[in-house]
Amino acid sequence: MLRSRRSFLLAGAGVRLLAQATHGATIAGTVRRYPDPLTELDVFLLTDPAHTSLLPAHYNRAITKNSATLLFGCDRAGGMQAWRMDLKNAQSRQLTEVENLDPASLTLTPDNRSFCYFAGRSLYISNFGTPRPRKLYDVPEGWERSEGMTVGPDGTHATFAEQKGESSRIRMVTLTQGAARTLLEAPFVVSQPIPRPMRAQIVYRRGEEALWLVNQDGAQNRQLKLASGRIGPANWSPDGRTLLYLNFPDDPKELNTIREHTPDANTDKLVAKTSQFGHFGFNNDTSVFVGASRNISSPALLLLLRVTRREMTLCEHKSSAALVAPRFSPDSQRVYFQSDRHGKPAIYDMHVEKLVEKTETEG
């Protein structure tokens, strides 16, 4: 174990020598592999924990459909910027040179040719071939951004929320001309609007209190009838048929659960009880879940199989569950997550091809 730790630390030194990067620079990858102290399974550290590296929001596209490229944010160039990593060799290339980039807002477009993000009050789109940013939109004076921005499955619009005092509105901006329109206005703070795959609808949050669903023409705005308790992370299944979310019961002695809501049938059902997941993700056919436990005595990353409702520990994450925010690659063969266990928040990877069947990617 001492030898593994020494090798781990020595490998990190090579990355720190490459800390100063410039726009367009390519940084050689140094993947550090170590056996997890709890399970002895291999964990791969992909970024240097001397600098903060963050994945996009859990509902945004961070990995290309062929599972070969990762989009993420990193401050190794002096400020938070967008980077692109080749997952075959971990080489990374800086894509932006902007101020106040929000790494959570980074998202690939559905065709994997471009990416969008907010920097300060401005929304941008860049093409990977020539990543010179094109400004699409500025948040108007008197308004502030709410949490969340994503590009819909059809790749035509960016959707996000703005707030003014205690009121909010959902905005949609075209990726071609930057034309903006207001979808709806609400008398409370709206966040994380997520377009529904295969349907012209958007789900959005009112904190941990409620999820609402609205048509993209602003019609049929309604609160979803979910299980009692607080609402944790939520996201659409890839086919758009159901909405999967974490339920945090009001009674802290009860277990957190994964639940599935079907808006078209107005039904809500239990998928599985968890060992206190604080964040989660799922594979492309929603047959397997990956969760970050927020159990203080066992801060672990776990797989959960839907059919058996049994969990398997992958590794310790030793971080806050909200930061870990685990997710599968599109082919379900790898799990990516974040942790600050070795310094600043960094991006980690585990190979799960022996545990999870490969899934077909969309498109």
Mean pLDDT of successive 10-residue stretches along the chain, which has 363 residues: 35 36 68 94 96 97 95 93 94 94 98 96 93 92 97 96 96 96 96 96 96 96 97 97 97 94 97 96 97 90 96 95 96 97 96 93 57
pLDDT in the model for residue 267? 97
In CATH terms, the fold of domain 225-356 is Neuraminidase (2.120.10)
**DSSP state for residue 63 in the 8-state scheme:** B
Scanning the structure block, which residue is given the tokens 């974040």? 338
Nearest 5°: the CA angle 313, 336, 135 is 155
Contact assessment for residue 110 and residue 363, using Cβ atoms and an 8 Å cutoff: yes
Q: If you compute the radius of gyration of the chain from its CA atoms, what whole number of angstroms results?
A: 20
pTM to 2 decimals?
Answer: 0.91
Q: What does the domain layout of the chain look like in residue ranges?
A: 225-356
Structure tokens at 318: 């030793």
pLDDT in the model for residue 28? 76
pLDDT in the model for residue 132? 85
Contact assessment for residue 96 and residue 119, using Cβ atoms and an 8 Å cutoff: yes
Contact assessment for residue 119 and residue 101, using Cβ atoms and an 8 Å cutoff: yes
pLDDT in the model for residue 3? 35
CA distance 349 to 87: 10
The torsion angle over the Cα atoms of residues 40, 44, 49 and 55, rounded to 10 degrees, is: -120
Contact assessment for residue 144 and residue 162, using Cβ atoms and an 8 Å cutoff: yes
pLDDT in the model for residue 237? 97
β-pair partners for 223:
212
